[in-house]
Amino acid sequence: MFDTKFAIVLRQDLPVWQKLNVTAFLTSGIVAQDPDIIGEPYRDRAGNVYNRLSVQPVIVLSADQMGIAAIHRRALERGVTTSLYVEEMFSTGFDAANRAAFAQFAPDDAKVVGIALRAEKKLVDKIVKGARMHA
């Protein structure tokens, strides 16, 4: 049905509120990168109009810190643009502060808590290898 796969990988030890927050932020990055993923507005029987949603399912996975670091590395090696959330962003309160916190780290020392990507199915499968379905 889809040639691509949309996957989010969360660090498994995060509290639930952080997992939900990171998922929302990462999803917005994928939508910004690939606006064609958004479908038409929803309408109920009464004629009320609702926001457009993703036309493609999102797979949410989890991995430990080493696993998510490996996924980050594989995405970079394969040239796949990702949405990335680092641990230090939890202590900020606005976009500029998030970007400043993010900029303090390189791929080898970033404490990644979440990564999202959308690319060709087989490529995504190779990149997220080792992650498990989120429970």
Domain assignment of residue 90, given as a range: 4-133
Q: What is the CATH number of the domain that holds 55?
A: 3.40.1490.10
Please give the tally of structural domains in the chain: 1
Q: How far is CA 115 from CA 3, 10, 21, 85, in A?
A: 20, 7, 12, 6
Print pLDDT tens along the chain (135 aa): 899 999 999 999 999 999 999 999 999 999 999 999 999 999 999 999 999 999 999 999 999 999 999 999 999 999 999 999 999 999 998 999 999 999 999 999 999 999 999 999 999 999 999 999 987
Q: Is 96 exposed, middle or buried (0-12, 13-18, 19+ CB in 10 A)?
A: exposed
